[in-house]
């Protein structure tokens, strides 16, 4: 569930008259199954959305959340640290994998928060602003943040939550492989845009609902992608000619990095054509090709897993330089 979908789901639950207990991971140490920015909420009728790490810890948090939703009066927002160690302290999560995580826990009610959460969900579509939470409550801030910010000052604390999902992928080509990759990245909590020049292909019927589909010429497709500096661009169109058009539009446009699917023979041809078009070796070196982890993939789903794994590896390594695999 993407960040935008999370707040939209919360708004829908409140609109249907449900109380919500929300748990948001705002800090972690190594070993914690709950990573910073992981999120979950449960409604007063027991419906859960998202996850904060799973296992017995999550079961305990859910059980406690249901009990809290039955309290009167409802509690104020709080920070709660969970220790993943084999002990019997109040902070023990029940897990023994090591590390700690700090959860922001808060209760939202239709009477008090419906309009606010609607505003947050709307702001989340554009990724503008942030959500600010203290022990006094929740509010929407005009100031954007890129990551979760936690400030603690003795008994006081403040959490800023981003509304822009920095995990973003633009897939150029909505064939079988492109759709499989788009769906795979959407399930990995990425904001996904898929672009194609054809308006009459049936493969797009298989796209997840939250994926943004844009039909446009490949020469101008890159300009249609929001927040290119945070976006991985993967080119996998239906021909070498359209690959070239997409790449020509992408090079030097500030994308996080660019991947190209294809055989070594096809990639060599594309490289030569880019040189003939006047692109330098430095510009061409922005392209990772062939993109994906070598797992002898054949089917669209296998190819999607291969490329998704490459995207995750590059994200985790936090590379500052583009990798050239020509």
Cα 232 from chain centroid (whole Å): 12
Is residue 272 scored above 50 in pLDDT? yes
Helices 3-15/110-126 angle, 10° precision: 150
Q: Which residues, at least 6 apart from 108, have a Cβ–Cβ distance to it below 8 Å?
A: 10, 14, 19, 20, 22, 41, 117, 138
What pLDDT digit, counting tens, does each position of 183-208 carry?
999 999 899 999 999 999 999 999 99
Mean pLDDT, residues 133-147 taken together: 93
Identify the H or E element spanning 153.
strand 149-153
Mean pLDDT, residues 74-99 taken together: 83
C-alpha–C-alpha distance, residues 30 and 40, integer Å: 20
Mean pLDDT, residues 270-287 taken together: 93
* Mean pLDDT, rounded, of the chain: 91
Q: Give me the domains of the chain, ranges plus CATH numbers.
A: 3-162 (no CATH), 168-317 (3.40.50.720)
The number of residues making up the chain comes to 326
Query: How confident is the model at residue 320, as a pLDDT?
Result: 38
C-alpha–C-alpha distance, residues 32 and 281, integer Å: 42
What pLDDT digit, counting tens, does each position of 32-81 carry?
888 888 999 999 999 999 999 888 889 999 999 999 999 989 999 999 99
State whether residue 262 is helix, strand or coil. Answer: coil
**Cα dist. 54→33, 51, 59, 61, 93 in Å?**
8, 6, 7, 10, 11
Which of the pair, 323 or 25, is modelled with greater confidence?
25
C-alpha–C-alpha distance, residues 292 and 235, integer Å: 12
Mean pLDDT, residues 120-138 taken together: 91
pLDDT band at 128 (very low <50, low <70, confident <90, very high): confident
Among 126-130, 236-240, 254-258, which stretch is predicted with the lowest mean pLDDT? 126-130
pLDDT band at 308 (very low <50, low <70, confident <90, very high): very high
C-alpha–C-alpha distance, residues 43 and 153, integer Å: 31
Is residue 326 scored above 80 in pLDDT? no
Backbone angles phi, psi at 94, to 5 degrees: 95, -15
Strand-by-strand arrangement of the 287-288 sheet: 212-215, 191-196, 168-172, 231-235, 257-260, 287-288
Is residue 319 scored above 50 in pLDDT? no
Query: How confident is the model at residue 90, as a pLDDT?
Result: 67
Query: How confident is the model at residue 261, as a pLDDT?
Result: 96
Mean pLDDT, residues 123-132 taken together: 88
Tell me if 56 sits within 8 A of 62, measured CB to CB.
Answer: no
Give me the percent of the chain exceeding a pLDDT of 90: 75
pLDDT band at 325 (very low <50, low <70, confident <90, very high): very low
Q: Give me the helices (H) in 263-321, please.
A: 264-276, 281-284, 300-317
Q: Give me the helices (H) in the chain, please.
A: 3-15, 55-69, 110-126, 176-187, 218-221, 240-250, 264-276, 281-284, 300-317
C-alpha–C-alpha distance, residues 25 and 137, integer Å: 17
Query: How confident is the model at residue 98, as a pLDDT?
Result: 80
Q: What is the DSSP string of 93-147?
A: -S--S--EEEEEEEEE-HHHHHHHHHHHHHHHHHT-SEEEEETTEEEEESS--SS
Helices 240-250/264-276 angle, 10° precision: 50
Among 8-12, 37-41, 153-157, which stretch is predicted with the lowest mean pLDDT? 153-157
C-alpha–C-alpha distance, residues 326 and 321, integer Å: 15
């Amino acid at each position: 569930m993407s960040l935008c979908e999370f707040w939209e789901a919360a708004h829908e639950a409140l609109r249907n008259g449900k109380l919500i207990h929300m748990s948001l991971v705002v800090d972690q140490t190594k070993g914690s199954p709950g990573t910073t920015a992981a999120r979950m909420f449960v409604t007063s009728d027991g419906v859960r959305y998202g996850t904060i790490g799973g296992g017995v810890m999550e079961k305990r948090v859910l059980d406690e959340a249901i009990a809290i939703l039955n309290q009167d009066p409802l509690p104020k927002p709080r920070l709660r640290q969970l220790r993943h160690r084999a002990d019997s302290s109040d902070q023990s999560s029940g897990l023994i994998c090591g590390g700690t995580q700090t959860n922001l826990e808060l209760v939202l009610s239709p009477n008090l928060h419906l309009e606010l959460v609607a505003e947050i969900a709307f702001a989340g579509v554009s990724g503008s602003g942030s959500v600010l939470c203290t022990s006094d409550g929740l509010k929407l801030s005009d100031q954007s943040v890129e990551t979760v910010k936690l400030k603690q000052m003795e008994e006081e604390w403040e959490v800023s939550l981003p509304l822009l999902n920095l995990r973003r992928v633009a897939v150029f080509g909505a064939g079988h492989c492109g759709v499989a990759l788009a769906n795979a990245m959407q399930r990995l909590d990425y904001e996904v845009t898929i672009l194609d020049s054809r308006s009459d292909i049936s493969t797009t019927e298989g796209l997840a609902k939250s994926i943004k589909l844009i039909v446009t010429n490949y020469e101008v497709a890159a300009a249609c992608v929001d927040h290119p500096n945070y976006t991985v661009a993967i080119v996998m169109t239906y021909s070498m000619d359209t690959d070239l058009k997409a790449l020509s539009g992408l090079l030097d446009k500030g994308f996080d990095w660019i991947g190209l699917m294809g055989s070594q023979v096809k990639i060599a041809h594309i490289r030569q054509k880019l040189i003939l078009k006047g692109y330098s070796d430095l510009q061409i070196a922005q392209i990772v090709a062939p993109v994906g982890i070598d797992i002898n993939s054949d089917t669209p789903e296998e190819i999607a897993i291969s490329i998704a794994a490459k995207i995750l590896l590059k994200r985790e390594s936090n590379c500052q330089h583009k990798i050239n695999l020509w």
